[in-house]
């Protein structure tokens, strides 16, 4: 068996096993239900979702936001969401206030009571994620965390959290993306039920 073949088999087997863990985890199902309800309520009431993460998690935050503002599977009205991913904002705040504040300043600028902040972190150890959560709480926002590796210091600091199984960032991010895709589907089903 070639190295590429064995890597492919190992990667797909690990990904399958992690999704099976999530599928049979009642706490994950409860977390999903609570998070879906939080997003549905906020968006139904005219509020917005603000999403942030570092590195690959920032890419996932942008992906999640565009599926809310744009299109997931079917046409429907746009939903208010923004990922804190503007490079000019990030570099300005990092330069002037330190990288720990890049998301908190965005939350301070854009967050309002009734909005939802969703943070994505495969480790839960990022100081800028913790600072964003504190800023959101100060503004009366609801907070949601998608974490990994046990949740780190961020665990327990949000209104709702989902801690993905897995030991590496790549596999955790794959579980997060499945969770986010299902979340968009659940929000759409609640806000735009099919006509009989």
Domain 3-191: CATH superfamily, name plus number: Glucose-6-phosphate isomerase like protein; domain 1 (3.40.50.10490)
> Do residues 49 and 118 make contact, with C-beta atoms less than 8 angstroms apart?
yes
* Alpha helices (runs of H) in 24-77, residue ranges in sequence order: 26-44, 56-69
Q: Write out pLDDT tens, residues 142-193.
A: 999 999 999 999 999 999 999 999 999 999 999 999 999 999 999 999 999 9
Q: Write out pLDDT tens, residues 45-89.
A: 999 999 999 999 999 999 999 999 999 999 999 999 999 999 999
- pLDDT for position 145: 98
∠ CA 37-38-40, nearest 5°, is 60
- pLDDT for position 2: 76
Q: Write out pLDDT tens, residues 77-118.
A: 999 999 999 999 999 999 999 999 999 999 999 999 999 999
- pLDDT for position 194: 84
Give this prediction's pTM.
Answer: 0.95
C-alpha 171, offset from chain centre: 15
Q: What is the Cα–Cα distance from 167 to 122, expressed in whole angstroms? A: 9
First to last CA, the chain: 53
């Amino acid at each position: 068996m070639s190295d590429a073949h064995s890597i492919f088999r190992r990667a797909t087997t690990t990904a399958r096993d992690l999704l099976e863990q999530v599928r049979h985890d009642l706490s994950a199902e409860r977390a999903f239900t609570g998070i879906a309800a939080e997003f549905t309520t906020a968006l139904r009431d005219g509020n917005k979702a603000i999403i942030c993460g570092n590195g690959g998690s920032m890419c996932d935050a942008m992906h999640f936001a565009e599926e809310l503002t744009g299109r997931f599977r079917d046409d429907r009205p746009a939903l208010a969401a923004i990922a804190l991913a503007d490079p000019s904002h990030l570099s300005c705040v990092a330069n002037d206030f330190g990288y720990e504040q890049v998301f908190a300043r965005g939350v301070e600028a854009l967050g309002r009571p009734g909005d939802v902040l969703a943070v994505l972190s495969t480790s839960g150890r990022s100081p800028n994620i913790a600072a964003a959560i504190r800023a959101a709480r100060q503004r009366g926002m609801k907070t949601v965390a998608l974490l990994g590796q046990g949740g780190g210091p961020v665990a327990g600091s949000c209104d709702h959290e989902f801690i993905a199984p897995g030991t590496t960032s790549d596999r955790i991010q794959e579980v997060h993306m499945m969770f986010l895709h299902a979340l968009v589907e659940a929000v759409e089903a609640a806000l735009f039920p099919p006509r009989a």
